[in-house]
Amino acid sequence: MAEVIVVAPIEGGWCVQRGMSEPWMFETRDQAEWAARRLGELLAEAGEAAEVRVLRADGGTGSRFVFARDPAFAAPQMA
């Protein structure tokens, strides 16, 4: 199962949340998304699959990225 990383809007900025860990706070969505995607890449390099979910400013689902060493797992999936 993939590690889920969520990028979400918060008052005054954006946060990156991974599981039950403390969230990382960022001023912009671009900063938060970059950090989340980089974390996904690092997890995949370590052999752990990761899914990054980026929410829109209104809280709706935005983008989704899957990172994995196994190409079969990372195949494009319809949302």
Please report where in the chains the tokens 């998304």 appear, as a residue: 33
Longest CA pairwise span in the chain (Å)? 38
The answer to whether residue 45 sits within a structural domain is yes
pLDDT in tens, 8-37: 999 999 999 998 889 999 999 999 999 999
Which two structure tokens, joined as six digits, stand for 56?
């829109």
Q: Is the pLDDT of residue 74 over 60?
A: no
The answer to whether residue 26 sits within a structural domain is no
Mean model confidence pLDDT for the chain: 89
Average pLDDT over residues 66-79: 64
Question: Domain of 56?
Answer: 1-18+40-68
Q: Is the pLDDT of residue 79 over 80?
A: no
More confident call, 70 vs 77? 70
The answer to whether residue 8 sits within a structural domain is yes
Residue 62: exposure state from Cβ atoms within 10 A (0-12, 13-18, ≥19): middle
Contact in structure between 63 and 54 (CB atoms under 8 Å): yes
Q: Is the pLDDT of residue 78 over 50?
A: no
Please report where in the chains the tokens 């890449």 appear, as a residue: 41
